Amino acid sequence: MPEAVTAVDAVVFDYGGVLTGPVSHSIAAWLEADGIEPASFSRALKAWLSRDAESGTPIHRLETGELAVEEFNALFAAELSTVDGRPVDPVGVLDRLFAGMRPDPAMFALAGELREHGIRVALLSNSWGNTYPRERIDALFDPVVVSGEVGLRKPLAPIYRHTLARLGLPADRVLFIDDAEPNVLGARAVGMRALLHTDPDTTRAALADLVPGLSRRP
């Protein structure tokens, strides 16, 4: 029998919400702990992530490293309100927002198994001033592309092309995994395969269809 051919040569993972538990869980815990009015958070997020405001919103400038975390925190806190009318403390806002985000052992294990099957694994993440477990990530993923370090951001095409260039692979041989649909669509727009992550089991099953020998169960 002819040797099986893998359908992809590399898998590129997002970080927050893919290699970690859901970011929404960390956000919900922060909203409750700080007494933030959820509607004020939703309004700020919607305005600053709007496709109609692709150039220059605080989030976009934070993601590309143009805006310092401390400056973003001050702008962000000013947009938020609390349930009891207190002002929001701007110091460490993003630290508190991401405090509940933890690496997902199942997804790190999946990335390791892909490597064992000869599939290259890479990371592509939009940074919000959050810290990464760099020693662990650098040992497993190559390349590691963080938006604030390269001055580019998802879902715009240049950051995907930059990642492909670092991999040295054609777009149709690379699968990108993200938990945000706009980022998935951005990857597809440059010719990459892309998968919307919802949970580790579903993502593993999808990868098992592309990588011969990969188990559907951890």
Q: What does the pLDDT look like over 169-179, one tens digit per residue?
A: 999 999 999 99
Give the residue range(s) of CATH 1.10.150 domains in the chain: 24-97
pLDDT of residue 2: 37
Per CATH, the number for 24-97 is: 1.10.150
Evaluate if residue 204 carries a pLDDT over 70. Answer: yes
For the chain, the straight-line distance linking the first and the last C-alpha, in angstroms and rounded, comes to 27
| Burial environment of residue 210 by CB neighbours within 10 A (0 to 12, 13 to 18, 19 or more) | middle
Asked if pLDDT for residue 126 goes beyond 90, the answer is yes
Packing angle, helices 181-189 and 157-167, rounded to 10: 60
What pLDDT is stored for residue 166 in this prediction?
98
State the span(s) of the chain assigned CATH 3.40.50.1000: 10-21+103-208
35-57, pLDDT tens digit by residue?
A: 999 999 999 999 898 765 456 89
pTM, two decimals, is 0.92
Q: Which CATH class is domain 10-21+103-208?
A: alpha beta
Instruction: Give the pLDDT confidence score for residue 191 in this predicted structure.
Output: 97
